[in-house]
Amino acid sequence: MRKIDKIKDGLFKRNTTLLKYALKTGKSIVTNRDNPAKIIEDLLGKDVSGFVDDLSHYKGSITKAGQILSQYAEYFLDEEMTKVLRNLQHSTHFLDFEKIKSQIPDHFFNELVIEESPLAAASIGQVHRAKIKESGEDIVLKIQYKGIDKAINGDLFFIKLLVKNLKIFPKGVDLSDFFEEIKKVLIGEMDYLREVDFQKKYQSKLDDPYFKTAKIYDKYCSEKVIALEYIEGSSISDLEVNENNQDKLNLLGEKLFENFLKEIFLYGLVQSDAHGANFIVPPLLDSLYLIDFGACLEYDHKTLEFYRQFLIHGYNRDREQFLKEFYRFWDSTNKSIKINEDLLWEYIILTTEPLHSENFDWGKTDLPDKAYPLAQKMMKSMKFKSAPSEMIFIDRKLIGLFTLLRKLECHFNVKQVFETVLNEYHHNQKLQNKS
C-alpha cells in the first residue's frame, strides 16, 4: 500500500478530474456502442495502474464507483488488466495515522495500543490492528476518513454525469428517485453506528454455522470508529485457485450463492457490497466471515417479492406469470413502462439458466458475453419516464456475486441449492398463512 498525505476532497479538484473521465467515456460510447471492452479500455487509458492510482486519491463514493467498474471489467478485459483493477477493491492508498487519528475518541488511547500502519485501506476508511491493554485481546479498528461524508453531493454530480454519458437509461428519463436512493445509501454507509446495528441484525438471521461475523466491541465503537475482533485469513480477492483447494472453493461458492438466495427469500436483508475484500476466509477454508455491513439494506416486501417471483417464474419458465409480476411491480412504484416482451423474456430465460444446472461451471460460463448484447437490445426497446430506484442495489449484489463465483472458478449443483431454499421459503409461507 502507498501512503498519501491527504485525500483530494475539494469539490473543484474532484470534479475536474472526474469530469475528464466522464467525458472520455461518453466520447468512446459514440464510436463503440456495442463493444464494452473497448469502452472500458478507453476509459482506463493505456496505463491502468495510473487510473487506479488516480481514483485511490479520492476515496469515498468515487472509489466505490471505480470498484463497481472493476466488477464489470472482469468480464471484458484480460487477466493482467483486471489484476490491476482489483486493487481498487482494496483501495491501495492509505492516510498517515496522524491525519486520521483525530477520528478516534481520546479515551480509546488510554485503553488500547493502536498500530499506526494500517492492515487495509478502503473507500470510506482504513483498518488498524489494536490490542486491548487490560485483556490482551487483538482487535481491529475501522476508522472513517475525516470529511469524506461531505464529498457525497459533489461525487453524485460526477456519478450522474457518468450515468448520462454511459447512456444506461434512454434519453429524457427522469432519474431523480434513482440518484436519491444512491445518495441515501452512501450516507448510510458512512453511519458507523448504523452499520453496527445491521451487523447484529444480520447475525441474528444467519442459520448456517459456515457463516460467521466478527465479534463487535461496542465499548470501542463510535460514529467514526468500529471495533471488531481480529480475524486471521485472506480475502476472497486474494485466494489462490488451484486443484488442491478446488473442492473447498466449490463449497465456498455454493455457500455464497445459497446465502444470497436466503437474503432474498428468508432474511429480507441484503449485504449489497459483494466484492471480494468484504469476505475473509480462514486458512483452513472451512468457513466464511462477512465483515462489511455498511451497504446492508433492509428491503420492503414489494421489492423482495419482485425478485422472488423473478427467480421463481424464470425457473419455472412461466412467461405469463413473470410478465404479470413485472407489470405489477412497476405499477406499485407509480411508474409505467413499455418494453419488447419477447426480448425481456429471452433475457430472463438466459439469466436464470444456472438455476437448472446440476453442475454449473462459473469459471467457464459465457453467460455475461451473451447477456450484455441482449440487455442492450432490451434497453433500447424500453420506453419509460422515470426509473424505479428499488432494484439497483440488489442488482449490484448480483454483479458482485457473479464476479466472486467466477473468480473462484467453482462449480456446484445450483438447481439443488435453489430448490432447497425455495422449499424452505414455501414452508415458511404456509406457516405464516396458518397463523
Report the pLDDT value the prediction gives residue 180, as an integer from 0 to 100: 78
Query: Could you tell me the mean pLDDT of each successive run of 10 residues in the chain, 435 residues long?
Result: 64 59 59 63 64 65 59 53 57 82 95 94 88 97 86 69 61 72 80 95 94 96 96 90 91 97 94 84 94 87 88 96 92 87 94 96 88 81 76 72 90 98 94 82
Which residues on adjacent β-strands are paired with residue 281? 234
Q: CA 410, CA 359: separation in Å to the nearest integer?
A: 10
Report the pLDDT value the prediction gives residue 303, as an integer from 0 to 100: 86
Report the pLDDT value the prediction gives residue 316, as an integer from 0 to 100: 97
Report the pLDDT value the prediction gives residue 90, as an integer from 0 to 100: 57
Q: Are 24 and 69 in contact (CB under 8 A)?
A: no
Report the pLDDT value the prediction gives residue 302, as an integer from 0 to 100: 85
CA-based end-to-end distance of the chain:
56
Report the pLDDT value the prediction gives residue 376, as an integer from 0 to 100: 75
